[in-house]
Every structure is written in C-alpha cells, then in structure tokens.
Amino acid sequence: MKIQINEEFCIGCRLCEVYCLVEHSQSKDIVKAFKREAPRALARVHVEENGPVSFALQCRHCNTPSCVYACLTGAMHKDENGVVLHNPDRCIGCWSCIMVCPFGAITRDERGRKVASKCDLCPGRTTPSCVEHCPNEALTLVAEA
C-alpha cells in the first residue's frame, strides 16, 4: 500500500500535519502534544502551498530508496514490508539522505542530538494518521499499480 497524493482535493487545512504530530507525540493526545510536551513532536508530513495550489507530502517509501543507499551508517533502512524506516539511534545527522531524497521528504530534527526525521507510515496503525484525518481525500491509500 502507498499513500497517494491528490493535489486537486487538498484544501490546505493542514490537519494532516496536526494529526501526524499527535501520532508521533508521547501522549498521542492533541492538547498535551501541543501544549505540554517538550520538546514538541515533529510532523513528518508537510503541506506545500502556493496561492490556490496545495498538497501534503510525506516520504514516498520509494521502491529504490536513494536515502537508504546513501545513508552512511545504516540508520535509514527498508523493512521487510517495504517501509523505509529511520533509526535515530544510529543516525549521525550527516544529511546525506537529505542530499539525495528527490522529494525533499526528510527534515532535520535539531531538537536534541541532530538526527533525520521522516514519515514511518505510523507503525501499529492500518491507516496512517494523515490519511485517516484528511477531510477531503487529498491523501488516500492505494494498492501499488
């Protein structure tokens, strides 16, 4: 399964960002995640906006993941289900993955020791949180064509 981006349906409401952050917070509670947790969790989906056009973008979990091939330490890896995951303990913040990701889907997490941050498709969930909370089906799950 992959997340499909349906640009024409995105209304730029950024609920995906909000719910991604909540999903990756410690409490998974929207109020606590924004108000009480320090450092605050990071969203791994980002809405890009320019006038009337907007869309939400997260890691595409590429079949040929440049980030994995370029990672100097093995922190970035593809698991047996084809999900591209990042292990912050092994990451040295060298930003080689940022250099090669053609979607620009990796961000710098500089809240503590510098490490990469990206979408993990919400482990433990059947539907990723961004997809579930998108009010307009701008993000949908599709089987790989």
Ligand X SMILES: Cc1cc2nc3c(=O)[nH]c(=O)nc-3n(C[C@H](O)[C@H](O)[C@H](O)COP(=O)(O)OP(=O)(O)OC[C@H]3O[C@@H](n4cnc5c(N)ncnc54)[C@H](O)[C@@H]3O)c2cc1C
Binding mask 16-55 for another protein (x = CB under 8 A): --------------------------------xxx--xxx
Q: What minimum distance in Å lies between the beta carbon of 51 and ligand SF4?
A: 25
Contact call for residue 83 and another protein (CB under 8 A):
no
| Single-letter code of the amino acid located at 29 | D
Q: What minimum distance in Å lies between the beta carbon of 14 and ligand SF4?
A: 20
The structure tokens listed for 51 are 């006038």
Q: What is the DSSP letter of 40?
A: P
Q: What are phi and psi of 87, to 5 degrees?
A: -105, 105
The structure tokens listed for 101 are 């990701």
Q: What minimum distance in Å lies between the beta carbon of 3 and another protein?
A: 8
Q: How far apart are CA 2 and CA 23, in angstroms?
A: 18
Q: Which does 5 bind (CB under 5 to 8 A by kind): another protein, ligand X, ligand SF4, none?
A: another protein
